[in-house]
Amino acid sequence: MMKLANIELRNNLIMSAVKTGYADSDGNISERHLAFWDKRSKHVAAVIFEPFFIDKKVRELPTQIGIDNDNKIETHKRLVETVHKNGAKAVAHINHPGRMANPKLPGNIHVSASDIECPNGGPKPKALTIDEIKSVQQQFIDAAIRSEKAGYDFIELQFGLGYLIAQFISPNSNKRTDQYGGSFENRIRFGLETLRGIKSAVTLPVIVRISGDEKYESGLTINDAIHIAKVIEQEGVAAIHVTSGDACMSAPWYYQHHFIPKGKTWELSKKIKENVSLPIIAVGQVNEPEDIEEILANNAADFIAIGRALIADPDFIGKYLNLVEGRIRPCSSCLTGCLGRIKIGKSLQCEINPLVGRELEEITQASEIKNYAVVGGGLAGMQSALALKQRGHRVTLFEKDKLGGQFNFAPLPSQKHSLKKQIDYFVEEIKEKQIKVLNKEATTEDLIGKYDGVIIATGSKPFIPNIDGLTEYNWAEILYEFNLPKNKNVVVIGGGLIGVEIANTLVDYGNKVTIVEMLEDIARDMEMVTRKLNLMKLKKANVKVYTNSKVTKIDGRSLYLVQTNGSEKEIKLDNIDIYVVAAGMRPNKELIEKLEGKIPYYIAGDADKIGDAVSAIQSGYFLAKEL
């Protein structure tokens, strides 16, 4: 047992706040919320729930949980009771985004310390008047009072990540000349008054979250964060939760993207811990047991907050503590299913865990045991095979090359090596569950009359456009170490996710790269933060990009293209050493045509519809779940 503000916790591992998008448009808690956090609260010390909005007009998501009126207290009680019955404490994270409120939500307002918009985009906010400041502070206090009535054990108050209180603290966003601007003491006044108001209104201990470094030029640094921490310490708070980044200016750090070096945020928590006597909570890409051990061994924190690893595997903590058997389903910090799905208006999902947000749809035993073949050992195929085995069926998996299929290319681009953990997980699970694997291409003779049914997970094939003179070309296999060219002149035909990732890896090896894309933009199918990072890298490497352009002919080392935006203009590119074709994918339906009418078959993953890893794994799981 450990204590935080005289409240006993069963360990020092906390679930950090993750946005789910499971609420309705009024911000009410749903059954999906209860099921999601029920699964994840069985072994953690406490759960910090997603940011609760304190005013419906300042939401970050259209489906965000609210604590903005008394009518919501009863459903919050249910959420608290859900984690309490599992032995975990409940933390209400209350926040106001200020100028970072979602501009796409009708009725949203944008306010801040000053009328300075986010330099990276967004509407110009209104500078809060003194009366409006008092009103917002009262909203925080009212939300805290509701939290106490609902039975929460702690309040977490956001002082960092570029949200409203941080907008007052930062001199970049605060140009006020009254008592809330100018000196550091004035700029932190709004936050301190809010904190004091909460502490005077409720008896709940308050955790304060800060950015140990905002991670952009002229942003608040670790020295500023230490100063803030020392001031907060004098206010009698329970703990300081140290993160990094700014929602406006340094999104990769804010989201802890896998492009960010793991451990850098823990270094910030260590420095703050060395300067205050308060308990410190570390966070940021804690997704392997070794990460927990490293933080504790380095005395970087007293408590550790874990978010996405618990999305990928609800039993991550239970398995780390040897309370739950089984292999940890790994998080690779890819953001594809979690942030990526939320940003396109869908709810929280996960690239590797198909049950996120669908926790009540677990597999049950089949009433009749059958003999199934799964053709294709990519993500959809391996997940199908595992789900069929879990149902109790007999399973044979056919894979003509290597388990992992085309996802074996996914870890090859620069800074995406963590994705290999996903392949390794499935391969090891296939082996442990003793699923029979045949390393051969499945034929009709292998299948018809020998199985009760077939899951076709043959994936997709690269689409090769009909270009005059295109005879020698590469695809993603160029990224294998033994294939990687150096100091060559390369043209990538196609500017989607695959083409852009290939280009960004090739520039690391001194290659001069040009991208030709038929549509008006590149990297359209990338997750938002990943896209921005890739485009920045392309620009820095002076990669030439031709959009609205179609390759018409290749003549040896010369390529001809026509730009189609407006008047057509032919351009000739010379001295090209290597052509890479990344013009999209097409479902591989060859086996489907051969099996039609001869054996029951079911289609999973890209063989049915081109998608990403999230849709492939979900397709395999939920298809097999019904067989």
Quick one: pLDDT at residue 566?
65
Q: Which residues are catalytic?
A: 163
The reply to whether 118 and 245 lie within a common domain is: yes
216 alpha-carbon distance from chain centroid: 21
At residue 557 the predicted structure's pLDDT band, cuts being 50, 70 and 90, is very high
**Which residue is listed with tokens 């709810």?**
347
Q: Is residue 353 part of a domain?
A: no
Q: Answer with the one of 301, 325, 343 that is the final residue of a domain.
A: 343
Quick one: pLDDT at residue 434?
96
Q: Is residue 470 part of a domain?
A: no
The reply to whether 197 and 278 lie within a common domain is: yes
Quick one: pLDDT at residue 567?
67
The reply to whether 513 and 451 lie within a common domain is: no
CA distances to 60, 318, 328, 362 from 324, rounded to whole Å, are 35, 5, 10, 17
Axis-axis angle for helices 73-84, 130-150 (nearest 10)? 50
Quick one: pLDDT at residue 364?
93
Mean per-residue pLDDT for 458-472?
Answer: 94
Q: What is the DSSP string of 45-71?
A: SEEEPSPEESSGGG-SSTT--B-SSGG
Residue 345, pLDDT > 80, answer: no
Q: Which residues contact 114 (CB under 8 A, 6 or more apart)?
A: 125, 127, 173, 174, 175, 176, 181
Q: Is residue 362 part of a domain?
A: no
Q: Answer with the one of 297, 323, 343 that is the final residue of a domain.
A: 343
Residue 84 burial (C-beta neighbours within 10 Å; 0-12, 13-18, 19+): middle
Residue bearing the bigger pLDDT, 334 or 63: 63
The tokens of 180 are what? 């809330």
Q: Is residue 466 part of a domain?
A: no
Residue 157, pLDDT > 90, answer: yes
CATH number at residue 516: 3.50.50.60
CA count, 13 A, side-chain hemisphere, 244: 27
The tokens of 200 are what? 């005077």
The reply to whether 272 and 406 lie within a common domain is: no
Mean per-residue pLDDT for 337-359?
Answer: 86
The reply to whether 68 and 178 lie within a common domain is: yes
At residue 528 the predicted structure's pLDDT band, cuts being 50, 70 and 90, is confident
463: three-class secondary structure by DSSP: coil
With beta carbons less than 8 A apart as the criterion, state whether 153 and 91 touch. yes
CATH number at residue 391: 3.40.50.720
The reply to whether 401 and 495 lie within a common domain is: no
The reply to whether 390 and 481 lie within a common domain is: no
CATH number at residue 202: 3.20.20.70
The reply to whether 378 and 499 lie within a common domain is: no
The reply to whether 237 and 124 lie within a common domain is: yes
Q: Is residue 352 part of a domain?
A: no
How many independent structural domains does the chain possess?
Answer: 3
Range of the domain at 490: 476-583
The reply to whether 380 and 501 lie within a common domain is: no
Query: pLDDT digits over 218-276, tens only?
Result: 999 999 999 999 999 999 999 999 999 999 999 889 888 888 889 999 999 999 999 99
Q: Is residue 213 part of a domain?
A: yes
Query: pLDDT digits over 492-522, tens only?
Result: 999 999 999 999 999 999 999 999 999 999 9
Q: Is residue 13 part of a domain?
A: yes
H/E stretch holding 36: helix 31-40
Query: pLDDT digits over 419-437, tens only?
Result: 999 999 999 999 999 999 9
At residue 121 the predicted structure's pLDDT band, cuts being 50, 70 and 90, is confident
CA distances to 227, 329, 407 from 295, rounded to whole Å, are 23, 21, 32
Q: Is residue 59 part of a domain?
A: yes
At residue 416 the predicted structure's pLDDT band, cuts being 50, 70 and 90, is confident
Alpha carbon distance 259, 120 (integer Å): 19
Residue 176, pLDDT > 90, answer: yes
Q: Which of 61, 71, 69, 157 is nearest to 102 (CA)?
A: 61
Instruction: Give the mean pLDDT of the chain.
Output: 94
Alpha carbon distance 58, 477 (integer Å): 47
CA distances to 246, 279, 326, 364, 388 from 368, rounded to whole Å, are 54, 55, 26, 12, 12
Mean per-residue pLDDT for 401-430?
Answer: 92
The reply to whether 612 and 517 lie within a common domain is: no
Quick one: pLDDT at residue 445?
95
Mean per-residue pLDDT for 282-306?
Answer: 97
1 alpha-carbon distance from chain centroid: 32
Q: Which residues contact 155 (CB under 8 A, 6 or more apart)?
A: 91, 92, 94, 144, 147, 198, 202, 204, 205, 206, 207
The reply to whether 163 and 94 lie within a common domain is: yes
The tokens of 557 are what? 């080392």
With beta carbons less than 8 A apart as the criterion, state whether 410 and 426 touch. no
